Amino acid sequence: MSKPAVIPAGCWPARMPPEIAAGYVGERSANAFLRLVGKEYPLPAVDKGTGKGRRRLWLKEDLDRALGIANDGGVPEPF
């Protein structure tokens, strides 16, 4: 039996499904996030399949850009 994938606390994956992307950008649900895709948020970088087998993934880098977070390669400033 394989172990479930785990994201360490305080880390975000480079590619995110809608449920995780919604949390990353601060939306209340994946549905709320999806309603704003193509408006406030970018289209998914990966969009394959249909129905239950559909796979959609957003890049953290694209979501950061939509949120106005600069990625200059440096360490983020603390609040």
Whether 74 is in a domain gets the answer no
Whether 76 is in a domain gets the answer no
CA distance 43 to 15: 13
Provide the pLDDT for residue 79: 40
Domain span at 61: 15-67
What tokens appear for 8 in the block? 């360490």
Cβ–Cβ < 8 Å for 13, 60: yes
Provide the pLDDT for residue 31: 96
The DSSP symbol for 19 reads: H
| Number of separate domains in the chain | 1
Q: Is the Cα dihedral 3, 62, 69, 72 positive or negative?
A: positive
Provide the pLDDT for residue 69: 86
Provide the pLDDT for residue 75: 54
Provide the pLDDT for residue 70: 67
- pLDDT tens for the chain, residues 1 to 79: 677 777 778 889 999 999 999 999 999 999 999 999 999 999 999 999 998 889 999 999 999 999 998 666 555 555 4
Q: Name the nearest CA neighbour of 21 among 76, 51, 70, 60.
A: 60
